[in-house]
Amino acid sequence: MIGTLLLREGQAGQPWQVQTHNVVDAGLLCAGLQPEQALALVGRVFGLCRVAHMAAGIRAMGLAGNVGPDHVRMQDEILQDHALALLVTLPAHLNLPPQRESLCKVLQDRQAGPAMARELIGTNASLAQMNAQAFEAWLATGQTETGAFLPRLFKRCQSALDGVGAAVDMAGLTPQAVQARLAHEGVQPAPTMAYDASIWPDYAHYPVMQALVGAGRVTPFARLVARLLEFLACLEGRVDTMFARVAPFMAGMGAGVGVARAARGMLVHAVQVRNGLVAEYQILSPTLWHMAEGGLFRQAISRLNPVCTKMSVECVLAALNPCVPVTLEAAQHA
């Protein structure tokens, strides 16, 4: 999705509102181009998740002669997205010093990844396999200024998100849901887009996630922990979980559809080529699903505590991870 979002705090206890601005359908820009030209345009237009967009486009247009991005490059792109959020952007919102030196090491020295993971979380134990008690004990190590950085960060996130609301639980995105959306051409009623296209479904089965969710909805804090687990998986070179759903997803699609795993979740490109030119190009990004009416992002924002702080909202945004800039606008109180 290309555009910007405005989050406006509700007045007098009213729900927060979401407004989209300058939304551009990038697929329309590709109409009439040769497939190779369309692919080059996609690479120029998308600054975020560029490698994943290129991979989906290559698969959708059947450009087998091109050397497509492999999992290593997509892993690097995913790592960069989570590393920037967890080491620089989110700490700044929580009044913690940005870890720019750690960010440089993470991005420049892949061989040091496992050691950096241990240094940043302060333990050799697997966070993903922790039960509720073990995870709370890990968070407690972040109560001192001398503790490892990530438990300190997530302890503050936990406090900032306490009572914030914005919890949502919905079915993960499926090939059938994608096919229904692609087949829809103005026919009423339109198929629902209330699916979770984020990275959450790839991590929901882990013990720590089950402990964080319990019988309730998926909280923003649980979604942040999913980003943490993916960040650690990238550092340690354990990419099987990230890409496990791509092949089954592709198998459920027809010709002209490409699927890739991006930092924000499942990305789909669908292309129709006629007489050597692109006749139709649709891009279904995670943010497109989540920003639709009834989508995950809109539901989460509608459930925000009306009086939550800017710091809390920034944590919610980091958890939802939209691929467009977001501006927060506070209500004008009398």
The predicted-structure confidence for 255-273, as pLDDT tens digits, reads as follows: 999 999 999 999 999 999 9
pLDDT at position 94 over 60? yes
CA atoms in the 13 A half-sphere facing the CB of 257: 22
Other Cβ atoms within 10 Å of 290 Cβ, number: 28
pLDDT at residue 68, as a whole number = 47
Q: What is the pLDDT of residues 180-231, one digit of tens each?
A: 999 876 666 778 899 999 999 999 999 999 999 966 789 999 999 999 999 9
pLDDT at residue 211, as a whole number = 94
| pTM attached to this predicted model | 0.94
pLDDT at residue 210, as a whole number = 94
SS3 273: strand
- Look-up: residue for tokens 């923003």? 220
Q: Where are the domains of the chain?
A: 2-329
Least confident piece of the model among 13-27, 84-98, 160-174: 13-27
Looking at every residue in the chain, the average pLDDT score rounds to 92
- Look-up: residue for tokens 């890990």? 138
How far apart, in whole angstroms, are the C-alpha atoms of residue 179 and residue 272?
14
User: What proportion of the chain, given as a percentage, has pLDDT over 70?
Assistant: 96
Q: What residues are designated binding site for Ni(2+)?
A: 323
pLDDT at position 72 over 90? no
Say which residue, 71 or 233, is predicted with more confidence. Answer: 233
pLDDT at residue 185, as a whole number = 63
pLDDT at position 120 over 60? yes
How far apart, in whole angstroms, are the C-alpha atoms of residue 311 and residue 67?
43
How does DSSP classify residue 283? E
pLDDT band for position 233 (cuts 50, 70, 90): very high
Encoded tokens for 31: 């109409």
Q: What residues are designated binding site for Mg(2+)?
A: 283
Using DSSP bridges, classify how beta strands 326-329 and 277-284 pair: parallel, antiparallel or unpaired. Answer: unpaired
Say which residue, 278 or 14, is predicted with more confidence. Answer: 278
Count the residues in the chain.
334
Q: E strands of the chain, at which residues? A: 2-8, 17-24, 257-262, 265-274, 277-284, 326-329
Q: What residues are designated binding site?
A: 283, 323
pLDDT at position 67 over 60? no
CATH of domain 2-329: 1.10.645
